[in-house]
Amino acid sequence: MNKFLIAAIAGTLATTSLFVSAGATAATATESGKAKATAKTTAKRPAPARRLIKRSPKAEAAAAAKVDPIPEGAVKWSCKDGNSFYMKGDMKRDTIVTVNWAKKDYRLPRQDTTTGADRFHDSASGMDLVVIPSKAMLFSDKDSSRLADECMTAEMAAGGAAPTQSNALIKPAQ
């Protein structure tokens, strides 16, 4: 082990003395009036041109698969603060609706309520959609936040009621 330690120290000293002597030679050359030659050797090389990295077809397909397309036949719900989501399914009769939020689809099963509001909740994803006659709200159970508030379809914004199950049960006054 002592021999190894001595060899390592000797190697370090040898490389250090090479760097010191090379620096001294360069300093001597500069002082002797050969500044142009030194400038040429120390000039920076231009940065290499950047290559465009081409993705493989599999990588492009994987990137495209992460974004769910808006379901065909989905209805847009515009919300306060410029948010919106798309919903596919008939809230009056379907037990599961599909909500497209932040470019991802969530399948939300219907939950029973005592208030008359329509509630669709998926505990696995944490998404919770509550629809009352005047608006809809989208919640996240994962971080206990309200993702979207005061959401309405175009018909609701024009003065109609939400397409909820409870509104379908109410008979119009004659």
CA 174 to CA 162: how far, in whole Å? 21
- Kindly give, in sequence order, each residue whose CB lies less than 8 Å from that of residue 118, ignoring residues fewer than 6 positions away: 91, 110, 130, 131, 132, 162, 164, 165, 166
CA 71 to CA 104: how far, in whole Å? 10
User: Which pTM was predicted?
Assistant: 0.57
* SS3 category, 22: helix
Give, for all 174 residues of the chain, the pLDDT tens digit: 667 667 667 666 666 554 445 445 555 545 555 555 555 556 677 666 666 666 666 666 666 556 778 888 899 999 999 999 999 998 888 999 999 999 999 999 999 988 888 999 999 999 999 999 889 999 999 888 999 999 999 999 998 888 776 655 555 555
Of 123, 126, 125, 120, give the one whose Cα is nearest residue 151: 120
Q: pLDDT at position 70, please?
A: 84
